[in-house]
Amino acid sequence: MKKLYFLLFAICISMLSCQKSPKTGFDVIEIMKAKYNNTFYKHFTFAQHVNKYQNDSVIGKEIWYEAYSFPNKLILKFDGFDTGNGAIFRNDSIYLFKDSLLVTGYKRLHDLIVLGLDIYELPTEEIYSKIKELGYDLNKMCSATINGRPMYCIGVTEEQEKANKFYIDKEFLYFVKNTKYQKEDINETVFSNYQTIDGKLVATKILFYKNGQLIMDEEYFDIKFPENLDLSIFEPSNFVNAIW
């Protein structure tokens, strides 16, 4: 009788596992949110070495300083806090600064903020809407492999399909890569060299490709996860004075 009970129990568990196997991008987002369950970091600050490339040669080196706060807030200061150059992303818009002056501001959803950060904590319907607006089809999904690691490839039913897609690591459920088709160009971003810092998994190297050529990479350092951030640093009117 005990053997029969355990056999039935094993079958039930197996059936439940099969039922929970994701079939669409919607399903993958659900398991991502369930895995981290309101534990994903809300604030994130770091510095980065930025290398810019042309024809496989480094043509420029800079150091940028960045701060992120959930939801949908990111500030970048280029080559130091005092240059007056940088950008702010907030409320699905971007504001660009040069020599301490606001040059322009316009609506822009940031793929990497949505897919790499906000995706874990934003309400489900809101994240679905943003991802759709970015041009990914959450109804489509297939399996893929990057550097030997199994991935969910979302946005296509076959990886070779020429459509916008993004990749989520099947084990750790973090963002790894996206591919976007924009007019005649193919733009790709890769999150790599994930490390656990203060108990948080974070990509410490980001690579940007255009039409298969590396155009920029970022290597993070001085990574911190503060309990709180002064949200005034994300106000465009306060860009000049913003420091963290």
Q: How many Cα atoms within 13 Å fall on the side-chain side of residue 92?
A: 10
Residue 181, pLDDT > 70, answer yes
Q: Would you say 178 and 167 are in contact if contact means Cβ atoms under 8 Å apart?
A: yes
Quickly tell me which residue has 């534990």 as its tokens: 39
At CA 226, angle to CA 223 and CA 221, rounded to 5?
Answer: 5
Set out the domains of the chain in order of their start, with CATH numbers: 20-235 (2.50.20.10)
CA atoms of 110 and 143, how far apart (whole Å): 25
pLDDT tens profile 208-239: 999 999 999 999 999 999 999 999 999 999 99
pLDDT tens profile 102-112: 999 999 999 99
Total-model pTM? 0.89
Structure tokens at 34: 């369930």
Give me the pLDDT at residue 19, please.
Answer: 46
Q: Would you say 49 and 61 are in contact if contact means Cβ atoms under 8 Å apart?
A: yes
CA atoms of 67 and 76, how far apart (whole Å): 7
Neighbours of 20 (CB within 10 A): 11
Region 91-96: what's the mean pLDDT?
A: 96
CA atoms of 120 and 113, how far apart (whole Å): 11
